Structures are given as structure tokens and as C-alpha cells.
Amino acid sequence: MPLSAEDQREIRQLMFVALHYLNLASKAAMATHSSITFGSTTHDFPDAGDVQEPLRSRILISADLASAATRLASVDHVLRGAGDCARRVHEHCRAYFNGRGDDIPYLPAEWFHIMLRDVVGHAEPDEVANDEAAIGKEPTGETPQARTERRRKARAKFIAGTTFGWAYTRLTEIADQLMGFVMDRHGIGDPR
């Protein structure tokens, strides 16, 4: 299905901004901070006063990577919303973390941009209250709500343990794949 001119413009703009954020979290900055994990900066942020180096750089790199992921996930969302479901990563990732489908042994790397966007974009849900009273227990004894919660906690743990270097490399690969896809399938030019 052909994309509207508005969808094409939006995708091009989202890719432009994603590439900008990846440039900000460039390999030069990653040389010093590539082994830092997203989770390591969470509890180090001071309650008051200035944010000092190296924490300042780490927080900004984390924000740049998360911002790039948000734009890349939005490209997949626009494609899906416009009826182009050839890239099903958005649909598959969202379904899995909403409790549908069988468990998988690992979280697919092609979902990374969506997982990072979801973890950064909102707080993970708390424990399911009164789980035993939830409707629709499955044969395993786990309720759908408990399965969703378990998967979301696994996602949060995965992101917390992800290094900036791995995230940068993976997001760059996703950006290249997306750019190639929209160029080949929809004739959208590289915005750089």
C-alpha cells in the first residue's frame, strides 16, 4: 500500500531526528562510556545540586539513545498505521508485552528500539494486585495479567543491563534497516 505524502514526510523527519540523536551518542562519546549500562545511572542521579561528570555525560548519552529509539519505533508505528505491515516488529513486540503468545527464550534484538522506547516512555506497572482473583487463569496457574507483568519486568531488566555500546550499535543497525526498507519500498530518500 502506498504511503500518503504526509506519512512519507513524517517518516523522513523521524529518521532525520533519530539519526541526529545517534550522531550525538556517536562512537567518539561511546569510547569512554560504551560499557556503562542504562540501569547503572538510575540510582546515581543526585537528589540536589549539579550533575557532575562523568554522570552528566552518561545521562545525556542515555537520553540521546532513548530519543533515537523513540523516533525509530515511531517509524515502525507510522508504517503499520498506514497499512504497511511488512515490518511486523512493532506488532509482534507490543503483542508479546501485552501477554499474548508463547514465552520466548530471549528478547529479539530487532525489538530493541520499541522495548527501549516503552521502558523509557513510561513507568513499568507495579505488581499485579490480587493476582489470584484475576479472571482467566491458564493451565500453568499464571493469569494473563501475571504473564504480562512478568514479561514487562524481564524487559525492564534487559534494558537496565544493556550497555550503551550495544544499544548504540543495535540502534544504528535498526536505523540502517529502516532507512533501507523505506527507500526500497516507498522511495523515501535518506534525510542526511
The tens digit of pLDDT for each residue in 47-65 reads: 888 888 888 889 899 999 9
CA 138, 92, 190 angle in degrees (round to 5)? 170
Percent of the chain topping pLDDT 90? 52
Residue 192 falls within a domain, yes or no?
Answer: no
Span 4-11, mean pLDDT? 94
Within a domain: 27 = yes
| pLDDT bucket at 11, cuts 50 / 70 / 90 | very high
Angstrom distance (rounded) from CA 159 to CA 157: 5
Show the domain range for 11.
5-43+52-122+137-186
The predicted model gives 140-166 an average pLDDT of: 90
Q: Could you tell me the pTM of the whole model?
A: 0.85
Does residue 131 belong to any structural domain of this protein? no
The predicted-structure confidence for 29-39, as pLDDT tens digits, reads as follows 778 888 999 99
128, part of any domain: no
Q: Is the pLDDT of residue 142 over 50?
A: yes
pLDDT in tens, 86-137: 888 888 898 999 888 889 888 899 999 999 998 886 554 443 333 333 444 4
Compute the distance between CA of residue 157 and CA of residue 150 in angstroms, rounded to an integer: 11
Query: What 3-state class would DSSP assign to 123?
Result: coil
H helix intervals, 82-123: 89-97, 112-121
The domain tally of the chain equals 1
Burial state string for 73-87 with b = 16 or more CB within 10 A and e = fewer than 16: bbbbbbbbebebeeb
The dihedrals phi and psi of 133, each to the nearest 5 degrees, come to: -90, -5
